[in-house]
Amino acid sequence: MHLPRAIQAYFDADKAHDGESLIQAFAPDAVVRDEGQLYAGHKAIVAWWRHAKAKYQHTAEPINMDRKNDVTEVHARVIGQFPGSPATLKFAFRIEGDRVVDLEIGA
């Protein structure tokens, strides 16, 4: 599966536990929606990601991708320290240029 560059960068950095590389996949004014919360901007996004990594000790492996209008949906198998693991979660990305501007994670 060939993911758009920004999305591949997100999953590569996540797998490598590399917050500095992960944040480079996002536009400065990007937003992330996860577990009913909104995180806006680089500082909030990297704090969200670090907190989630520490809490859930998870890995996410993309298994398929679908494009719907301006949204690229990636379903990933997520394994970690949470009820129902492993689970398939949907990562809905909006990209502008070569950066993620919006990411929503859900079931």
Average pLDDT of span 82-101: 97
Average pLDDT, the chain: 97
Q: For the chain, what percent of residues have pLDDT higher than 70?
A: 100
According to the model, what pLDDT value does residue 38 have?
99
Given a contact cutoff of 8 angstroms between Cβ atoms, the answer to whether 6 and 100 are in contact is yes
Per-residue pLDDT tens over the stretch 13-65: 999 999 999 999 999 999 999 999 999 999 999 999 999 999 999 999 999 99
pLDDT band at 1, cuts 50/70/90? confident
Task: Domains for the chain: give ranges and CATH numbers.
Answer: 5-106 (3.10.450.50)
